[in-house]
Amino acid sequence: MMIDEAAAQGDLMDEDGSQRESRSDSNPLHDLNLDTAIRLRWVLRDIRAGRVKLTAPASDDLALLGQRGLITMDNGQPILTDAANSVIR
């Protein structure tokens, strides 16, 4: 498959030409409404930057991120998983 054909079909190509999943299929937030997905991305960024003490994320947001495998809790502090880092890179 040519790269242009893959782009037209919404598939992504790695640098070596191999096909990989589209971003929406691999993104744990893809099925949420836009406002919720944006809010949760900001929560993930706040966790990464260590801003959770100043502005604590809502417990519902933390629960949803945990259910989707994007955070784990360690001594009451949210920790990003590898999946979360790939969502916000």
Enclosing domain of residue 77: 32-89
- Pairing relation of β-strands 12-13 and 19-20? antiparallel
Does residue 64 share a domain with residue 37? yes
Does residue 52 share a domain with residue 36? yes
DSSP-H helix ranges across 1-89? 3-9, 23-26, 34-49, 59-67, 82-88
Residue 73 has pLDDT above 80, yes or no: yes
Task: Tell me how far apart the alpha carbons of residues 49 and 32 are, in angstroms, rounded to a whole number.
Answer: 24
Number of domains in the chain: 2
Does residue 44 share a domain with residue 87? yes
Does residue 59 share a domain with residue 82? yes
Q: Note the pLDDT tens digit of each residue in 30-71.
A: 999 999 999 999 999 999 999 998 889 999 999 999 999 999
Taking a C-beta distance cutoff of 8 angstroms, is the pair 59, 41 a contact?
Answer: no
Q: Note the pLDDT tens digit of each residue in 17-28.
A: 544 444 456 799
pTM of the model: 0.70
Return phi, psi of residue 50, to 5°.
Answer: 75, 25
Q: How many CA atoms lie within 13 A of 22 on its CB side?
A: 9
Task: Burial-class residue 60 by CB neighbours within 10 Å (0-12, 13-18, 19+).
Answer: exposed
